[in-house]
């Protein structure tokens, strides 16, 4: 990462979410100095049901889960409670780790989401990584992915992580560029599971 990039990340870390444990503040950083659009990373709320379910339907067509383990018949308020429980590490489903799930909001619209895992298990170490994000199809190619990634690194730092693993499909040029622009250093490319596309594994140093 360039010196300017390091200073930008340090500024974001200093200005963003300072109380993840109590969940009292959310990241809201104006990135005009870096040419990135302004977004707000915040927890999923009860009022987000319509937009979030629409995003789920849009990305499901690409085989991507906007909302993790959304079950038929589960009321939206209960689903939001489950998301918060996962952040706290309570009643975790098998194979899950504590994770902070945030939606990215711009001008009142949910444009994407991110899941920031507080630790890695075997699967995440191999192909999943600490940070998994997605941008809704109608909001792509506007810089939102990079803005989400930069703010996510700030949240990861506030959780206590000093080094994060971020992965993407080997043929996803756009995601690879986002990760590299945010300081990602390629460690290797590993075979995908069950014959899927190989994964590029990047590490990003974010410091204490």
More confidently predicted of 166 and 193? 166
Dist CA 200 CA 167 (whole Å): 5
Residue 158: burial class (beta carbons within 10 Å; 0-12, 13-18, 19+) = buried
Residue 177 lies in a domain: no
Residue 125: burial class (beta carbons within 10 Å; 0-12, 13-18, 19+) = middle
Q: What is the model's pLDDT at position 193?
A: 85
Per the structure, the complete domain to which residue 156 belongs is given by 3-161
Residue 116 lies in a domain: yes
Q: What is the model's pLDDT at position 75?
A: 96
Mean pLDDT across the chain, nearest whole number?
A: 86
pLDDT tens digits for range 87-145: 999 999 888 999 999 999 999 999 999 999 999 999 999 999 999 999 999 999 999 99
Residue 176 lies in a domain: no
Q: State yes or no: pLDDT of 16 exceeds 90.
A: no
C-alpha 162, offset from chain centre: 16
Dist CA 31 CA 39 (whole Å): 8
CATH of the domain at 11: 3.40.630
Between 6-15, 41-50, 168-177, 193-202, the lowest mean confidence (pLDDT) is in: 6-15
Residue 25 lies in a domain: yes
pTM of the model: 0.83
Domain count across the chain? 1
Dist CA 31 CA 35 (whole Å): 6
Asked if 48 and 110 touch (Cβ cutoff 8 Å), the reply is: yes
Give the Cα-Cα-Cα angle 57, 58, 63 (nearest 5 degrees).
85
Residue 80 lies in a domain: yes
Residue 175 lies in a domain: no
Residue 181 lies in a domain: no
Residue 191 lies in a domain: no
Q: How many CA atoms lie within 13 A of 64 on its CB side?
A: 18
Q: How far is CA 105 from CA 38, 168, 200, in A?
A: 9, 23, 28
Question: In sequence order, which ranges of the chain are alpha helices (DSSP H)?
Answer: 3-15, 49-60, 76-88, 122-123, 144-159, 173-181
């Amino acid at each position: 990462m360039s010196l300017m990039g390091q200073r930008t990340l340090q500024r974001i870390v200093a200005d963003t979410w300072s109380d993840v444990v109590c969940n009292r503040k959310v990241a809201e950083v104006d990135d005009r100095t870096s040419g990135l659009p302004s977004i707000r990373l915040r927890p999923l709320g009860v009022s987000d049901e319509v937009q979030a379910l629409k995003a789920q339907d849009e990305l499901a067509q690409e085989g991507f889960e906007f909302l993790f383990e959304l079950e038929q018949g589960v009321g939206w308020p209960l689903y939001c409670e489950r998301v918060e429980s996962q952040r706290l590490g309570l009643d975790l489903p098998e194979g899950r780790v504590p994770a902070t799930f945030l939606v990215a909001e711009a001008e009142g619209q949910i444009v994407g989401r991110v899941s920031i895992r507080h630790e890695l298990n075997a699967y995440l170490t191999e192909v999943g990584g600490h940070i998994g994000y997605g941008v809704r199809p109608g909001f792509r190619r506007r810089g939102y992915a990079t803005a989400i990634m930069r703010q996510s690194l700030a949240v990861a730092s506030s959780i206590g992580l000093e080094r994060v693993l971020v992965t993407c499909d080997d043929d996803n040029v756009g995601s690879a560029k986002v990760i590299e622009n945010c300081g990602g250093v390629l460690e290797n490319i590993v075979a995908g599971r069950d014959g899927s596309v190989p994964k590029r594994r990047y590490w990003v140093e974010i410091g204490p």
